[in-house]
Structure formats: structure tokens, C-alpha cells
Amino acid sequence: MKKLLFILTLLIAQYGFGQIQDAWVFFADKENVQEALDDPITILTQESLDRKQLHNVPIDERDVPVNENYIDQIKNSNGITVYSKSKWMNCVYIRGTQANIEDLLDLPFVTGVEYADPDLNLFPISGKVQDKFEMEEVTQRIIYNYGAAANQIEMLAGDFLHEQDFTGSGMIVAVLDSSFPNASTNPGFSEMVNDGRLLGTWDFVLDQVDATGTGTHGIRTTSDIGGFIQDEFVGTAPEASFYLFRTEDGTSENPVEEAYWVEALERADSLGVDVTNTSLSYRDFDNSNYDHTYDDLDGQTTFAARGANIALEKGMIMVSSAGNSGNSGFPWVATPADAPGVLTIGAVTSNGSYASFSSIGPTTDGRIKPDVMAQGQNAAVIDDNGNVDFNNGTSFSSPIMAGAITCLWQSRPEVPNYLIMQLVRESAHLYNNPTNFMGYGIPNFEDAYNALQILGIENEFLINNFALYPNPVDTQVNISFPQGITDAQFSLYNVLGELVLQTEITSERNYVGMDHLKRGMYLVSIQSQGKAVSFKLIKQ
């Protein structure tokens, strides 16, 4: 019956039936769903569970892995190669002839096929290899001064956050990019490595730990968040922890990279990542039949946009570059920057003017994009050899912004992702008069911080929830009790899961001394009336 739905497609495109095509194959169900949901530590890390609990993010069937037996059957099918999988959308990305792909519809667990070439889809879900980073990797080498990154940080008032001791400590960032050569040996990342804050790498293109990739793009973008060279360069979140994920294949441009990107988002969510940075965008491909049209860029149609919107539901903040097509015949932001679940970052010059290469909005459905702007022309970076350099591109405005957002969220990590994103927009200088070129403009993170600190403090949040303050803590942490609860048990664990301290607290004696603890990250569990809540706590 399922194959009958494709008869019209076959009649229209029979001439290409033997040509190699790319497609997503969707599955009907998953195995052991209830067992996994009843014991979620089997499918998610404790860090992920803590973040979801902190933000009241439900754990659902989308968090359960794809049925590996189904994947094996697809792999063993005639002429089919499997490249990627998505648990959120319960599908795999494959390549094969159209005939072999359509044969998969005979498998009882396959519910449908979505071709990368939309002309082959009966009901569409709404020889060139070009270096997409060519413009961005043309370096403008100058003699740098002390603090080469000062302008790009101070433009956003990111230095204000650092002065408040919010530098990303205890927050986890995932960078999704093309290449991370010398990540563990680069002098600009030595503090990150020595502190144990480089948490892991993965190459989704080659399915391996080594994420060296092609080029140096990922190292440069990561440096704008977490790089540090004494007296020479500081990233916007220099004490954050990092996962480095390669999702981009620099040797070609193919929709499989969207699939890798969504799979990396899923991995990030399962690892408890707070913020992701993506300095990539997708619109045109080596096979022009796969190209996205402007109508596709409605934030709901492309595979990447659909994945990004689910990631927002899962509690993360996705920061993405707008793209560098502002001077082209197609000047609009591509995907995943078109997604409403993504905070899209355009580029300005060092004096805050629009950089002419920065992609513009609106999206095809009329939404403001980019969301906000940061310096992307003559942006300071650290190269793969540990030298300070300067690059152009929204690829660099995006991580500069991502690090600032990480520090802002650190100041009140219990606040949901969508509120953090909105406060950033509202702090921008064009918020009341946004434009297609600059979106809401350049944020002021001092204003965003001040607004965040008073957000809901007096009312609903403290009426219904426990809260810890200050965080980071020096000598004493205070606990705000929700309405109707007078006593609780306070437990403190180190990063190895070992119990460090346990004591009874009350609404009258609502504090715990911290001055005897070593610096670092801890997990707090507060239990009362049969319920438990968890928090990340930073001892400074």
C-alpha cells in the first residue's frame, strides 16, 4: 500500500530511477520505550537529567534511541548506505538508487521516505565543490595589541559579565563545526585542557573520536568562546567546558551534513550541554536538485530547522551564524539560522556598523532574522598554531555571542532557555525598530544581566521552587524555600558523584557554609516531601 503513494513520483521521474539519491527513511516505532523512560539514566547522562529537571523539560519518546535492529536491516538492504541517524525524528539518512530506496517501503517498520531532492517527494515536507569558508579563512594578519579581543567583547558589554565573575564556569558548550586540528595541544586552549574542561570530541562524518576534520575553521570559532592567551586574547566564556563535534564535510556540500548536525544536537542534549554554537549554514548543494529555496526557509521545513526546534524544546540554547551571503543574489539567512528555535547572529564591523557580507532577513514567513549582531569583521581569533589572528565572517560573530550568552545564563541557570534568548533580544539597541539587515541590533549584556536578576524573583518562581544564591558561591550558599515547605535535606556531591556534605535545612535556617570546600563544580540535591531537585553549584 505504501508504495502506491509513490506511483505518481515514479511516472514523473522514471528517467532518474537508477540515479543515486539521498533521503531520510522514517521508522514507525522504537523498542523498550517505557523501560527507558522509567529509567532515563540508561539513555541520558546525569548532566542532561539535571538540566532537564532544572528547566522542567519532559523526557519523552524522542529521547529514546533509534531501534538498532531497524538500522541494521536498512544497512543490509540492497544498494543502501546509512550515514546518520536521528532519535528525535526516528529516522536514518541514507544513499542509494531511487529504486533501492523505494524498496525500503516494503519493510514493515518503515513509514515513509523523504528525498533530499524535493521534486521526488509526492508530498514534500516543505559537480561543484566550493569552500564555504573561503572568505572567512582569508586572514588579515596585523600586529596585535594587548587584548586583541577587547573590542568584540566590550561591544557587547561581555566584560561586565566577567567583572561579575560570570566567565562560563560550570556551563557546557558544544561547538558544531568542520575542523578542530591540534585542539588538545594548542597553546590557546591549554588552560581548557589542563583544567579538564575539554570534555570530548566526535567526528560525525567519519564516526570517530578524532575530530581534526578539514581546515582550521572549528578551532578559530571555538577560540572566540573558550580561547585564552595571557595578555593577548580572551574568549567570551573562557572558563566554560566544551565538546567539539565535527558535522561538516569540507570536501563536499550535501544534505547529509544537516543529518550529522541534528545527530550532534541529540548527542549534545544527552550529555547535558547548555549552549551550542554553529558557524555553518546550508542552502545550495553540489546536486542542485537538493537546494533549498527561499520558500523552504520558513523555520519548519528543512531537516536542520526541525531538529533545532526540538533542541529548543529539550532545553538548550542554539546560537548560529546568519551566513555570509549578504552581497550575493540570495542574501537571506540559510538553515538552521531560519529556525525560530535558533538565536541567529549577524556580523557588524568594529565600530558597530552592518558588515556588508552578513546575510539578512526576513524569513519567508516574515520573522525577524538575524536576531542580534556581534563583531564579525576583523574579529580576533586564535589559529591552529596558537597565534592571534583576525578573520571576517558571521562564523565569528556567532561564537562571540554564544560565549556571552553562556556567561549570562550562568548567572541564573534555572531560567528557561527561551527567556534568556528573549532578554538578549530586548537588550539590543534596535529592539523597538528592528531591520532586515541588523535584526534587533547589538545586545548590551549589562542590561540583559540586570533584567535577568530581577526576573520573577519576587513572585511565581520563588513561590513554587527552591533556589540557590549566590551561584558561584564563596563562603555561604542560601536556599530559598517554596511556599508551604519548611524543612528539607541538603546533599552536596562532587563531579565523581561522591557525597561531600549532607545536612538538614529549614526555612528559618536556610543556609550552608561552603568556605571549607575546594574550588570547582558540585551537584546539590534538595529533598523534601518525597521530591528531589538538583542544581549545579560552582565554588569559587
- pLDDT in the model for residue 118: 87
Nearest to 225 by CA among 379, 450, 444: 379
- pLDDT in the model for residue 13: 44
Residues 42-64: pLDDT tens digits?
A: 999 999 998 888 888 889 999 99
With a CB cutoff of 8 Å and minimum separation 6, the contacts of 344 are 320, 321, 322, 333, 337, 338, 369, 370, 371, 439
Instruction: Give percent of the chain above pLDDT 90.
Output: 72
Residues 119-153: pLDDT tens digits?
A: 888 644 433 445 566 666 555 544 323 389 999 99
Q: Mean pLDDT throughout 466-481?
A: 81
| Residue-by-residue DSSP string for 246-284 | E---TT---THHHHHHHHHHHHHHHTT--EEEE---BS-
Q: To the nearest 10°, report the CA torsion of 267, 269, 274, 280.
A: 50
Q: Are 9 and 21 in contact (CB under 8 A)?
A: no
Is residue 82 pLDDT above 70, yes or no?
yes
Please, what are the domains in the chain?
A: 2-30+65-120 (3.30.70.80), 150-453 (3.40.50.200), 462-539 (2.60.40.10)
Confidence of residue 1 (pLDDT cuts 50, 70, 90): very low
Residues 158-201: pLDDT tens digits?
A: 999 999 989 999 999 999 999 999 999 999 999 999 999 999 99
Confidence of residue 491 (pLDDT cuts 50, 70, 90): very high
- pLDDT in the model for residue 509: 84
Q: Mean pLDDT throughout 409-433?
A: 92
Q: Are 523 and 50 in contact (CB under 8 A)?
A: yes
Is residue 11 pLDDT above 50, yes or no?
no
Give CA–CA dist 475/491, Å, rounded.
17
Enclosing H/E stretch for 93: strand 91-97
Task: Give the torsion sign (CA, 197, 470, 54, 165).
Answer: negative
Q: Tell me the average pLDDT of the chain.
A: 89
Poorest-pLDDT segment among 117-126, 255-264, 335-344, 499-508: 117-126
CA 381 to each of CA 144, 378, 404, 492: distance values in angstroms, whole numbers, following the listed order: 11, 9, 16, 38
Residues 351-406: pLDDT tens digits?
A: 999 999 999 999 999 999 999 999 999 999 999 999 999 999 999 999 999 999 99
C-alpha cell at 169: 564556569
Phi, psi values for residue 85, rounded to 5°: -140, 155
* CA geometry: angle 214, 309, 446, nearest 5 deg: 85
Nearest to 403 by CA among 276, 245, 537: 276
Regarding predicted confidence, which is higher, 516 or 420? 420
Confidence of residue 461 (pLDDT cuts 50, 70, 90): low
Give CA–CA dist 195/212, Å, rounded.
21
- pLDDT in the model for residue 462: 53
Confidence of residue 262 (pLDDT cuts 50, 70, 90): very high
Spell out the alpha helix ranges (H) of 195-255: 217-226
Is residue 66 pLDDT above 50, yes or no?
yes
Phi, psi values for residue 62, rounded to 5°: -65, -25
Give CA–CA dist 211/312, Å, rounded.
25
C-alpha cell at 372: 542580534
Q: Are 387 and 414 in contact (CB under 8 A)?
A: no
Spell out the alpha helix ranges (H) of 27-123: 33-38, 46-54, 68-75, 98-103
Is residue 6 pLDDT above 80, yes or no?
no
CB environment 312-344: b (16+ within 10 A), e (fewer): bbbbbbbbbbbbbbbeeebbbbbbbbbbbbbbb
The owner of cell 515536507 is: 125
| Residue-by-residue DSSP string for 102-171 | HHGGGSTTEEEEEESSGGG-SS--------TTTTTTS-------S-TTHHHHHTTTHHHHHHTT-SSTT-
CB environment 463-501: b (16+ within 10 A), e (fewer): eebbbbeebbbeeebebebbeeeeebebbbbeeeeeeeb
pTM of the complete model beyond 0.85: no
- pLDDT in the model for residue 476: 86
- Chain center to CA of 142: 32
Give CA–CA dist 279/240, Å, rounded.
18
Given the DSSP bridges, would you call strands 81-86 and 275-278 parallel, antiparallel or unpaired?
unpaired
